[in-house]
Amino acid sequence: MNASDVFVIGGGIVGLSIAWRATTRGLTVTLADPDPGSQATRASAGMLAPVSEVTYTEEPLLRLGLASLERWPAFAGELEAAGGIPVDLRGDGTVEVAYDADDLAQLDELAVFEEKLGLRVERLTGRQCRQAEPMLSPNVRGGLLARDDLWVNPRRVAQALQQAFQNAGGRLVRERVTTLEGLPADHVVVAAGAWSPSLLPGLPIRPVKGQILRLRGPRGLLGTCVRGTVRGSEVYLVPRDDGEIVVGATMEELGFDTRVTAGGVYELLRDAREIVPGITELELAETFAGLRPGTPDNLPYVGRHGDVWVAAGHHRAGVLLAPLTADAVVAGLFGEADLMPECTPARI
Ligand SMILES: Cc1cc2nc3c(=O)[nH]c(=O)nc-3n(C[C@H](O)[C@H](O)[C@H](O)COP(=O)(O)OP(=O)(O)OC[C@H]3O[C@@H](n4cnc5c(N)ncnc54)[C@H](O)[C@@H]3O)c2cc1C
């Protein structure tokens, strides 16, 4: 394949990862996005958590998540070296906690399912939860520890990807693409997240709104990523090295609405405070809402779709799945084996 024949539309974590990986395989690549890294990628908490995110009936997604998680340490290492920006990959596991007896029963059932799948989880009493994470409320009933989960700062990843892509000779065009007609490339990759159907009508991707908060306080308030079930509703707290704690996230089917609402912020803070009471002392540094690209079966579309390639619909797991998706698309461009056959757009 000769140079300058790949045109990537969309510079979220998915499009940027593909563009960077394609340049490192010797291709000349153009990526178009009016504001790279500004949408779902900017909202994301950055949990790389296939184990603690596992849900019944989503075993194909678990397989993909585990395969991509395995790639993350090398991906982050190469990216930091190529982009010159640390991406804060951390790996202290996730503590999943239950607030009341019903929440604990739900978590116990999940543990049985996770063990059946051969996943590494440890059951914790309330006291053991607090030993793992001393800031947890004395009311926490019990929980699980998923040791293999990691997390990363997606905003840093997006910055590093832009830098690494351009350092490797990639061309970044800050423009919106309005039509697929006449793009100057042999291969076009549509990676425009929730906006992909505007270029590929009929692609069943819908926006799923997520409101998320960023709190700021002293470094090291939380040592691990915490997920809680509080009276049936879910909340998570993700600590960053600089003292930021990300609290997320709502799931709302409201079309292209990105308003932050009083109710959304209230519910997140209410539930987060039940499991980590100390957060009320922190500064509320940012509120934000992003649009996850959802699909009917919660699996992304990755592969050939008519005349173009598509890599979109990563819903709740686009950060986790970015390294595998990038490798899968680049392998496809070179006619190599399909790394994500479950995600073929042929199932539409
Ligand atoms: C609140 C929240 C929390 C999340 N937490 C996690 C998490 O912890 N872990 C995880 O793995 N995932 C998480 N996700 C999901 C993850 O953020 C997404 O799956 C991922 O960002 C999707 O990446 P993307 O590149 O496909 O889309 P986006 O990041 O939305 O990027 C799409 C890009 O396409 C561009 N674009 C759109 N139309 C055009 C056009 N016509 N021409 C050119 N460019 C265009 C946009 O400007 C944008 O930059 C979360 C999402 C939300 C909203």
What average pLDDT does range 264-278 have in this prediction?
Answer: 98
- Residue from 234, 292, 308 whose mutation best tests the ligand 1 pocket (most atoms within 8 A of CB): 292
Whether the CB-CB separation of 106 and 229 falls below 8 Å is answered with yes
- Residue from 9, 316, 321 whose mutation best tests the ligand 1 pocket (most atoms within 8 A of CB): 316
Could you tell me which CATH class the domain 4-86+153-204+296-347 is placed in?
alpha beta
Distance 10 CA to ligand 1 centre (A): 9
Q: Which amino acid is at 271?
A: D
Could you please report the per-residue DSSP string of 207-275? EEEEEEEEEE-STTS-SSEEEEEETTEEEEEEE-TTSEEEEE---B--SS-----HHHHHHHHHHHHHH
Residue among 226, 216, 201 nearest 308 (CA): 201
Distance 266 CA to ligand 1 centre (A): 24
pLDDT band for position 290 (50/70/90)? very high
Indicate the domain borders of the chain.
Answer: 4-86+153-204+296-347, 94-147+207-294
Residue among 245, 243, 251, 244 nearest 267 (CA): 251
Write out pLDDT tens, residues 77-128. Answer: 999 999 999 999 998 889 999 999 999 999 999 999 999 999 999 999 999 9
Distance 39 CA to ligand 1 centre (A): 5
**CB of 332 shorter than 6 A to ligand 1:** no
Atom in ligand 1 nearest the alpha carbon of residue 316: 15
CATH topology of domain 94-147+207-294: D-Amino Acid Oxidase; Chain A, domain 2 (3.30.9)
DSSP β-ladder status, 308-312 and 187-190: parallel
Helix-then-strand count for the chain, H and E: 8, 16
Tokens 């291969």 correspond to 187
Total Cβ atoms within 10 A of residue 237: 27
pLDDT at residue 56, rounded to an integer:
80
What 3-state class would DSSP assign to 151? strand
**CB of 197 shorter than 6 A to ligand 1:** no
**CB of 225 shorter than 6 A to ligand 1:** no
Residue among 225, 236, 218, 213 nearest 90 (CA): 225
State how far Cα 121 lies from the chain centre.
21
Total Cβ atoms within 10 A of residue 16: 30
Whether the CB-CB separation of 190 and 176 falls below 8 Å is answered with no
Report how far residue 165's alpha carbon sits from residue 161's, in angstroms, rounded to the nearest whole number.
6
Residue 128 burial (10 A CB sphere; 0-12, 13-18, 19+): middle
DSSP β-ladder status, 206-216 and 47-48: unpaired
User: The tokens of 273 are what?
Assistant: 């405070």
pLDDT at residue 2, rounded to an integer:
41
- Residue from 39, 151, 190, 206 whose mutation best tests the ligand 1 pocket (most atoms within 8 A of CB): 39
CA-nearest residue, atom 50 of ligand 1:
44
Write out pLDDT tens, residues 292-336. Answer: 999 999 999 999 999 999 999 999 999 999 999 999 999 999 999
Instruction: Mention every residue, 6+ apart, whose C-beta is less than 8 A from residue 134.
Output: none
State how far Cα 319 lies from the chain centre.
3
Residue among 203, 208, 207, 206 nearest 310 (CA): 203
Q: Which amino acid is at 18?
A: I
* pLDDT of 4 over the 70 cut: no
pLDDT band for position 181 (50/70/90)? very high
Residue among 6, 142, 150 nearest 72 (CA): 150
Residue 9 burial (10 A CB sphere; 0-12, 13-18, 19+): buried
Residue 164 burial (10 A CB sphere; 0-12, 13-18, 19+): buried
Q: Which whole-number Å values give the CA distances from 97 to 4, 112, 117, 139, in the listed order?
A: 50, 15, 20, 10
Residue 334: left (phi > 0), alpha (psi -120 to 50), or beta?
alpha
Distance 256 CA to ligand 1 centre (A): 13
Instruction: Tell me the β-bridge partners of 96.
Output: 144, 227
**CB of 264 shorter than 6 A to ligand 1:** no
Distance 28 CA to ligand 1 centre (A): 24
pTM score of the predicted model: 0.98
Task: Tell me whether domains 4-86+153-204+296-347 and 94-147+207-294 share a fold.
Answer: no
* pLDDT of 131 over the 50 cut: yes
Counting residues of the chain whose pLDDT is more than 90, the rounded percentage is 93
Question: Within 13 Å and on the Cβ side, how many CA atoms surround 210?
Answer: 27
